[in-house]
């Protein structure tokens, strides 16, 4: 892989960004706004990087983002905005009304951290510990949500400084629990919507479009990735109990062995992907937990099985669940046992609205340079931004966070490492995306 060339290109592109942008934009409202944005980003980025360090050192788990929400609300107030707090537990929203008439759009940043013990050499690395599912764990921003929150505070800062010139309004959404609320709790985008984030409570109504970005360790700082259409998968979770009949391990004929049945079920479930669905249809069925038995010489009465299903299309999602029930029914009956299946649908697939994607791609290219905007593969990971993007047209892009010449672990790993220099790029890309979108919809 020509990594060196890519690195040189990325660095060059960064160095010449402002000049490149104004040259490409030509005259007009968008170009004047773009120049202001670049100046403001440069001026404000150091302060926003400090906020990023603060957030990174004080990560909070899903639905526990109290201090984070306080920091966010305080910063929004310092910009003259009137944030609404406690939306969907710890969420914060704020409406920035531009000085000129125009549509309402929204932008979302997620705020929660993960039960991961950070293993990076960052001077501001997290050493925080907390309790998760009854266990003491390290807590870290291993999914880059500190970058998303700080970048969005930066975007709000830049746009607040030039609000008089802004043709329209922007709803800033700081969302808790993107990684999913703890068991038994509600949270995330779905709860924010249920509590009226798109209307009623001071949000200014339903936005015309919604945007979000996510840190991406496969791209270098200066690069942006996106793909049209489905970009993140639907996330389902299943729990199955396979019931048999307990007996001495030496007398299997007196038992109905749920371990043998479960073993057959695990293998048979994989045939849904390979035999029941078209070969070109993306899907994943993973059994993540298979638990049963207490002693080597006892055939247990029950086996517990848990896993996840990832799909893009609603009909495929339904088909997987239907086949899963059929297979569990057939396999357990054949073995003389029975089963119970709980199939829980979490976030639907995140789909980049095709028309919106077409409209914003040139805006992104102008912001970071055409060669730095890459079409990336869709991911089978999930994203609860999908709930927002199911309500109004949405666009979700990936922000390169790896400093050229360094390496980062993957998302959700202890060595995930987003570089500070990604903050200014994220601020510039998102601010210009929002402002140019409003200008072009004017």
Question: What is the per-residue binding string for Zn ion in 142-161, x denoting contact by CB under 5 A?
Answer: -x------------------
Q: Which of positions 67-106 make contact with Zn ion (CB under 5 A)?
A: none
**Residue 272 Cβ vs Zn ion, minimum distance, rounded to whole Å:** 26
Choices 22-30, 139-147, 235-243, 434-442; region in contact with Zn ion by CB under 5 A: 139-147
What token pair was written down for 266? Answer: 């695990």
Residue nearer to Zn ion on the CB measure, 45 or 177: 177
**Residue 145 Cβ vs Zn ion, minimum distance, rounded to whole Å:** 6
Q: What is the DSSP letter of 275?
A: I
List the Cα angle 154/228/433 in 5-degree steps.
Answer: 25
Q: What is the DSSP letter of 272?
A: I
d(CA 432, CA 437): 8
**Residue 142 Cβ vs Zn ion, minimum distance, rounded to whole Å:** 8
Q: How many other CB atoms are found less than 10 A from the CB of residue 222?
A: 28
Residue-by-residue DSSP string for 144-178: -HHHHHHHHHHHHHHHHHTGGG-EEEEEEEEES-T
Residue nearer to Zn ion on the CB measure, 44 or 155: 155
**Residue 354 Cβ vs Zn ion, minimum distance, rounded to whole Å:** 24
d(CA 103, CA 403): 36
| Residues making up the chain, counted from first to last | 442
**Residue 382 Cβ vs Zn ion, minimum distance, rounded to whole Å:** 9
**Residues facing residue 243 across a β-bridge:** 302, 338
Residue nearer to Zn ion on the CB measure, 214 or 366: 214
CB hemisphere CA count around 26 (13 angstroms): 2
Closest by alpha carbon to 177, among 230, 108, 231?
A: 108
Determine contact, residues 357/395, Cβ cutoff 8 Å: yes
**Residue 434 Cβ vs Zn ion, minimum distance, rounded to whole Å:** 20
**Residue 114 Cβ vs Zn ion, minimum distance, rounded to whole Å:** 7
Residue nearer to Zn ion on the CB measure, 59 or 301: 59
Closest CB to Zn ion: residue number: 143
Q: How many chain residues interact with Zn ion (CB under 5 A)? A: 1
CA distances from 415 to 122, 148, 214, 407, 419 (A): 10, 18, 17, 9, 12
CA distance between the termini of the chain: 43
Q: Is 10 in the site for Zn ion (CB under 5 A)?
A: no
List the Cα angle 166/222/366 in 5-degree steps.
Answer: 45
Residue nearer to Zn ion on the CB measure, 241 or 417: 417
**Residue 411 Cβ vs Zn ion, minimum distance, rounded to whole Å:** 6
Choices 137-145, 187-195, 238-246, 322-330; region in contact with Zn ion by CB under 5 A: 137-145
Residue nearer to Zn ion on the CB measure, 143 or 153: 143
Residue nearer to Zn ion on the CB measure, 168 or 400: 400
**Residue 418 Cβ vs Zn ion, minimum distance, rounded to whole Å:** 11
Residue nearer to Zn ion on the CB measure, 168 or 188: 188
Q: Which residues contact Zn ion (rule: CB under 5 A)?
A: 143
């Amino acid at each position: 892989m020509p990594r060196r060339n890519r690195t040189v290109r990325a660095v060059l592109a960064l160095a010449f960004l402002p000049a490149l942008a104004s040259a490409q934009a030509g005259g007009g409202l968008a170009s004047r706004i773009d120049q202001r944005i670049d100046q403001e980003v440069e001026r404000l980025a150091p302060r926003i990087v400090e906020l990023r360090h603060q957030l990174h050192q004080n990560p909070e788990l899903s639905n526990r983002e109290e201090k984070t929400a306080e920091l966010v609300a305080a910063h929004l107030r310092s910009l003259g905005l009137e944030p609404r707090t406690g939306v969907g537990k710890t969420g914060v929203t704020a409406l920035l009304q531009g000085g000129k008439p125009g549509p309402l759009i929204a932008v979302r940043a997620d705020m929660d951290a993960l039960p991961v013990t950070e293993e990076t050499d960052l001077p501001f690395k997290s050493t925080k510990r907390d309790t998760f599912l009854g266990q003491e764990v390290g807590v870290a921003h291993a999914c880059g949500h500190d970058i998303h929150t700080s970048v969005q505070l930066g975007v709000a800062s830049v746009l607040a400084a030039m609000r008089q010139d802004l043709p329209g309004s922007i709803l800033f959404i700081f969302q808790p629990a993107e990684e999913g609320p703890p068991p038994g709790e509600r949270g995330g985008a779905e709860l924010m919507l249920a509590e009226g984030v798109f209307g009623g409570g001071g949000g200014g109504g339903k936005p015309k479009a919604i945007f979000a970005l996510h840190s991406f360790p496969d791209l270098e700082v200066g690069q942006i990735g996106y793909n049209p259409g489905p970009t993140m998968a639907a996330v389902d979770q299943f729990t199955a109990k396979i019931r048999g009949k307990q007996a001495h391990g030496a007398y299997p004929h007196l038992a109905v062995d749920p371990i043998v049945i479960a073993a057959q079920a695990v293998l048979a479930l994989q045939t849904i992907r390979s035999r029941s669905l078209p070969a070109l249809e993306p899907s994943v069925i993973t059994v993540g937990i298979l638990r049963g038995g207490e002693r080597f010489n006892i055939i247990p009465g029950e086996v517990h099985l848990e896993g996840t299903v990832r799909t893009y299309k609603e009909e495929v999602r339904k088909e997987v669940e239907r086949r899963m029930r059929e297979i569990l029914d057939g396999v357990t009956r054949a073995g003389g046992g029975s089963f119970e299946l709980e199939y829980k649908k979490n976030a639907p697939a995140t789909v980049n609205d095709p028309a919106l994607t077409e409209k914003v791609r040139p805006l992104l290219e102008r912001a970071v340079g055409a060669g730095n905007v890459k079409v990336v593969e869709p991911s089978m990971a999930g994203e609860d931004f999908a709930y927002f993007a199911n309500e109004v047209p949405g666009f979700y892009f990936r922000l390169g966070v790896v400093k050229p010449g360094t390496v980062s672990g993957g998302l959700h790993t202890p060595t995930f490492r987003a570089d500070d220099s990604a903050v200014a790029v994220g601020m510039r890309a998102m601010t210009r995306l929002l402002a140019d979108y409003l200008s072009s919809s004017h």
